[in-house]
Each structure stands twice: as C-alpha cells, then as structure tokens.
Amino acid sequence: MLFSTAMKQTLTLAVVVMALLAFVEVRSQERAKTIAERLGYARDAKLLIVHADDLGMTHSVNAATIKAFETGLVNSGSIMAPCPWLSEIAVFARANSQADLGLHLTLTSEWTSFRWGPVSSRDRVSSLLDKDGYFRLTESEAAAQADPKHVEMEITAQIERARALGIQPTHLDSHMGTLYQNKELFEIFLRVARTQKLPVRVARTWFSRADFLPSVLSQDDVYIDRILDIDPTVAPQDWAKFYSDALKKLESGVTEVVIHLAYDDAEMRAATANHPDWGAAWRQRDFEFFTSDAFRKILQENNIKLITYRELGKLGK
Amino acid sequence: MLFSTAMKQTLTLAVVVMALLAFVEVRSQERAKTIAERLGYARDAKLLIVHADDLGMTHSVNAATIKAFETGLVNSGSIMAPCPWLSEIAVFARANSQADLGLHLTLTSEWTSFRWGPVSSRDRVSSLLDKDGYFRLTESEAAAQADPKHVEMEITAQIERARALGIQPTHLDSHMGTLYQNKELFEIFLRVARTQKLPVRVARTWFSRADFLPSVLSQDDVYIDRILDIDPTVAPQDWAKFYSDALKKLESGVTEVVIHLAYDDAEMRAATANHPDWGAAWRQRDFEFFTSDAFRKILQENNIKLITYRELGKLGK
C-alpha cells in the first residue's frame, strides 16, 4: 500500500521532530554530566589547574614561571600582552606550542615605579588611561572610567598582538579582575571570548558575590567550580601550610589555584616596591611551594589530577 | 648754544648705531671665547661630562646609575621616556632637582626579548613602528622609514611626558643616534631643542662624518668638542686601561664620555640577551670603572674638571 502525499509529509515531520527531541535529550544528558565526566574522569574526581598569572610582566616572572613549567607541577599560565617582557614569553610559547598559555587581559598598571599602557592607539582608548598615558592603578578606577567600546577594542588588540607574536592562547582571564567588576564589562569579555572560541576564567563559587554572572553565562560556556588563591592575611611562614591544608581537603570538581610566580630579586623587588601583597617575596614563596616535592606528594596522596584550559576549551567547541 | 632739531636727531642716531656696534662687538668677542672661558675656566682647561645613557630602560640601569651619581663621579645622564622604568627614575629626578638629567629621545627598541613603543598614539606615528607595534630594531631602519612629522610629534610627546612626571630636562640627545642619521632628522631634533631652549649632544669632531651638521647649527647653538666612548673591539680585561689612557691624554676643551651603566644581573642579562655589545657585563664594567677610586685619581692628577649640561645650557640662553 502506498502512502498518500499528506501522510508522507506527516511521517517525515514526525521523524524530524523525534530526531530533534533525541538530539536535545543527548545534549541535555551531556550537559548534565560534570566537567570531570566530560573529560573522562570519575564524577567525583579532584581536578586541578595550577595557574601562574602575570607572564610577560617582568623577566623575573617569566624566568620563574618557565622554570616552574619545567617541573610539570605548574601547568597553566596567562600572559599580559601590554607588558614589556611579552616578547620573551612569546619565544617560550612558540617553542612550547602545547603549553597551556592564555591571555591575562590587562586594563590596569598597578605598580608605581614600573608602568605600561595599552596595545591600541592611546587616542582611541582614552577612557582607559590615567593622566600620564598609562593604564589606571586600580581595577575599580579602571572599571568606573572605562568606555565599553574602548574595552572591547583594547582586549581585542591584546589578543591580536599575542597571536601576531605566535602565541595561540588557550583561555582568557582578566588581570586584577577588572573585567568582572560589573555586568557590562563581563558581557564584553564573554562576547570577545566566544568570538575567539576561548574559555574564560569563571568559577561557580563566584556567582554569590557577582550575581550578574549566571544571567550572562549560557549552558554552552564552560566554567570551573572554584578558584583557590592565597590571601594577604596568611603569614609568610604559614604559606606552605595554607596551600597544603587547602589541597588536602580539596573538593571534587575543577579547581583552579591562581598563583603568582617570580624570584625575590632586584628587578621584582623594585617593580613591586612598597607593596608586599603580591610582591617579590610573595611570588618567591609561591614559586617554592608549587615547585616542591611536598606539593607533588600532596597531589599523589590526594589523587588530585592536573588538567589544563586546553582540555576545557575543547568541551566548549 | 642750542642744537638744531636735525642735529639732535643725527646725534641720537649716531649714539644708537655706536651702541649697537659695541653690542655686536661684545657678542662677537663672547662668541670667540671657548666654552671653557665662557664657563669661567682657563682657555686650555680640560672639561669633562661623565654621561650615563639609557635611564628608565630597566631597574638595573636605574639602580646602577643612581648609585654612580651618589659618588659624584658620574654627573650627567639621559632618560628614555618610552621605557617601562621611567616612573622610577622620575622619582629620583623629582627628589634631586639639581641632577643633570636630560632626555635620551628614543625611536628604536633594539632588544628582542624586552620591547617598548611610542609615547604618542600609535596610529599617529605609524611610520615609527614595526609590524608588532614597537619601535624598530635599528637606527638605520628607523631613520629610513620615519615620516618627519611623526618624528617631531613623538619626540615632543616624550618631552611632554617627562615634564608631566616632574623631570626638568637639562639637555637632549638621541638613543642610538637615530636623530643624527640624516639632515632632515637632525633639523627636526634641533628645531625641537631650540623651541625647548635645551642644548643637544653635538660634538665638533662629528662634523667630518656628518657633513650636514655645520650647515644646520648656528653660532647660537652650544656644542662640545668631542665625544669619548668605548668600542666593542676593546677586550673586557682592557676596559679600565682604555678609559684611563684616553683620560690621561685628554685634550683641552669640552669632552663628553658617554657610558652605559647597569648591573650584570638577571634582568639586564635577559634584556640584552645574545648581544654582548652594550650588554649586561659591558655595563657592569662601565659602572666599575666610573665609580672607582682609580677614575677619581685620574681626574685629580690630570686636572680634569667635571661640568654638566646644566651649565652648558645657560650659555645658549
């Protein structure tokens, strides 16, 4: 028996609808999986990104971070394109194309003896500049004064400069968190990141303190569970204990520990003069802990697996 | 007896003409004097400016130069306004307003791991930039590509940025000699310097190798007799001997010894990597000789007097 044309059309439509429903179901199941599962780990796996910020800032930062990368214990980092030592870290990036290097998009120049300004033409991003032509000192000033068009132009220019130097960024984050200061800036950040098909640093635990985040993020955006970073209230002698304790009680899911590596040398002391928080000695302490056998042992004993933004980035594509 | 009106007018005119002639004669005699005489020294005095270049480039350069200034043996220097450590040297300049600090006008970014670009908006001085948005690597490329309007805009912007940071420059010179590469660039340099009422680094001994110099300079411009600088062919172990010999046979008149001070440390080695000429060890050797008791003794024994651009600048006003 032959089907009438009307029946054929109805059947075709039904098949299409069923296929669509099945696809949505699969996607929905896929989305219901944790990132750990999507990466092939157990649902309760403890996954860690050990992420060094501020690459390109000084030679001291570059040298310490490259040394830490060689241990395999620090496995991710992000680069500041406006900074004077960008070219040095670009040489490393070109020679280590599998290294997990993102861009630390920068709209502040926070040290007083050592400064930097935009990659874009100054007169096209005037709202981002202080009276001396550098980026502003603080993230709150930068966010309050920034013209959104200037922000989009400048962060795009930073990505373009990095790519021109042979850096293929695996992710994006924001120096001093300027791009998370308000919804408008975060929307620009996310729009640029989606255009570039790159994951951004966002943690689910941030949703409570930046309540605009969930409304801007979509289910296609990949974001991690939490950020671990040390606080200026931790005394220098308690540095290793702080990190050890935090790692021993690490929850399952994806955690990014954000660290700042450099040597406590003349360059770094001068760059961070009069500012012990995130200063030269702070960065030397981070370097020492995250390149130590003690840290390696904690990872092993607590079954913590290191992952990178390169793997996370593939989930969002 | 009373003079007629016509006679009075004639007499007045004669007196004015005589006064003018006398003035011209005094000025002419003044010009015939050597700079040494005009500064109050004997005609055959040996006058020396000990001049450190590249201030603001790195912390290492700044720290070594400030240390050398404290000895009194290095008494002049010039600052690179586009460089990242400008703010650090500006703090020194503000706190030491009598220090003889000029501007080392910069149109090149010659190191490969560590780079800088213009003070002006990039899109207004595009001829000065390489493909990555930094100044070009060499003075010959920079001079060959530079649009004269861009050069004038950029060097003026460098002077303005320095003044905005509280640096009151006493003189101007040109990093890597870019502004002496051809007549057109030198004319711009001199026009800006005259507008700013600042002396420029020009030596009479340069006239033979840059034959356009005399035609651009006027008798109102103050310039020195010769530049003394060490050559890459001098072996490291002969460093002190080269300078000692040159100073012991110093001719009378004004000599500027152009030196490059920094410490042979991690920052400076990385900044000047793969380039021993004017590299970290070179600059440490310059630092050691020009802060030594041996140098102090040579000055005394050879009756060499230190002068600065601050004094030369007053002659041109």
Residues A135, A108 contacting (CB under 8 angstroms)? yes
**Percent with pLDDT over 70 in chain B:** 95
Would you state the pLDDT for residue A25? 61
Q: Which residues of B make CB contacts under 8 Å with A?
A: 58-60, 62-63, 83-88, 91, 112-116, 119-124, 131-133, 161, 164-165, 263, 265-267, 270-271
* Burial letters B196-228, b for 16+ CB under 10 A, else e: bebbbbbbbebeeebeebeebbeeeebbbbebb
What ipTM was assigned to the predicted interfaces of this complex? Answer: 0.89
- Distance in angstroms (rounded) separating the CA atoms of residues B80 and B64: 16
**pTM score > 0.95 for this model?**
no
Would you state the pLDDT for residue B23? 65
Whether the per-residue pLDDT at B26 is higher than 70: the answer is no
Beta bridge partners of A299: none
Would you state the pLDDT for residue B317? 65
DSSP letter for B250, please: P
- Distance in angstroms (rounded) separating the CA atoms of residues A276 and A282: 7
Query: Are residues A58 and B271, on separate chains, in Cβ contact within 8 Å?
Result: no
At B18, the pLDDT band (50, 70, 90 cuts) reads confident
Nearest to B287 by CA among B311, B255, B265: B265
Would you state the pLDDT for residue B219? 85
Average pLDDT over residues B68-87: 98
- Distance in angstroms (rounded) separating the CA atoms of residues A262 and A272: 11
Whether the per-residue pLDDT at B195 is higher than 60: the answer is yes
Helix (H) or strand (E) holding A193: helix A183-196
Computed on alpha carbons and rounded to an integer, the radius of gyration of chain B in Å comes to 22
Would you state the pLDDT for residue A31? 58
Residues B87, B55 contacting (CB under 8 angstroms)? no
Helix (H) or strand (E) holding B288: helix B280-290
Q: What is the dihedral of CA A230, A233, A237, A241, to 10 degrees?
A: -40
3-class DSSP state for residue A114? Answer: coil
Residues B247, B263 contacting (CB under 8 angstroms)? no
Would you state the pLDDT for residue B62? 98
pLDDT tens digits for range A127-144: 999 999 999 999 999 999
Query: Are residues B266 and A270, on separate chains, in Cβ contact within 8 Å?
Result: no
B158 phi, psi to nearest 5 deg: -65, -40
Would you state the pLDDT for residue B31? 58
Nearest to A307 by CA among A316, A297, A299: A299
3-class DSSP state for residue B145? Answer: helix
Residues B87, A118 contacting (CB under 8 angstroms)? no
- Distance in angstroms (rounded) separating the CA atoms of residues B243 and B264: 20
Would you state the pLDDT for residue B307? 98
Within 10 Å of residue A303's Cβ, how many Cβ atoms?
10
Please name the residues in contact with A212: beta carbons below 8 A apart, sequence gap of 6 or more. A182, A183, A186
Would you state the pLDDT for residue A245? 98
* Burial letters B257-290, b for 16+ CB under 10 A, else e: bbbbbbbbbbbbbbbbbeeeebbbebbbbbbbbb
Query: Are residues B267 and A121, on separate chains, in Cβ contact within 8 Å?
Result: no
**Partner residue facing A121 (CB), from B60, B121, B164:** B121
Query: Are residues A113 and B267, on separate chains, in Cβ contact within 8 Å?
Result: no
**Partner residue facing B88 (CB), from A124, A165, A270:** A270
Angstroms from A152 CA to nearest CA on chain B:
17
At B28, the pLDDT band (50, 70, 90 cuts) reads low
Distances (CA, A) of B80 to A80, A182, B255, B276, B283: 22, 37, 22, 21, 17
Query: Are residues A266 and B271, on separate chains, in Cβ contact within 8 Å?
Result: no
- Distance in angstroms (rounded) separating the CA atoms of residues A250 and A155: 33
Mean pLDDT per 10-residue segment, chain A (317 residues): 67 73 62 88 97 98 98 98 98 98 98 97 97 97 98 98 98 98 97 96 94 92 95 97 98 98 98 95 98 98 98 87
Residues A86, A163 contacting (CB under 8 angstroms)? no
Average pLDDT over residues B195-215: 94
Nearest to A262 by CA among A46, A105, A98, A114: A114
Would you state the pLDDT for residue A9? 77
Would you state the pLDDT for residue A90? 98
Whether the per-residue pLDDT at B129 is higher than 60: the answer is yes
**Partner residue facing B121 (CB), from A60, A62, A122:** A122
Query: Are residues B121 and A124, on separate chains, in Cβ contact within 8 Å?
Result: yes
Would you state the pLDDT for residue A316? 76
Helix (H) or strand (E) holding B64: helix B59-71
Would you state the pLDDT for residue B16? 74
Tell the residue number behind the tokens 């930094």, with chain if given. B134
Query: Are residues A84 and B115, on separate chains, in Cβ contact within 8 Å?
Result: yes
Average pLDDT over residues B12-23: 73
Residues B34, B224 contacting (CB under 8 angstroms)? no
For testing the chain B interface, which of A83, A106, A122 should be mutated: the one with the most B CBs within 10 Å?
A122
CA-based angle A163:A168:A169, to the nearest 5?
A: 105
Would you state the pLDDT for residue A32? 76
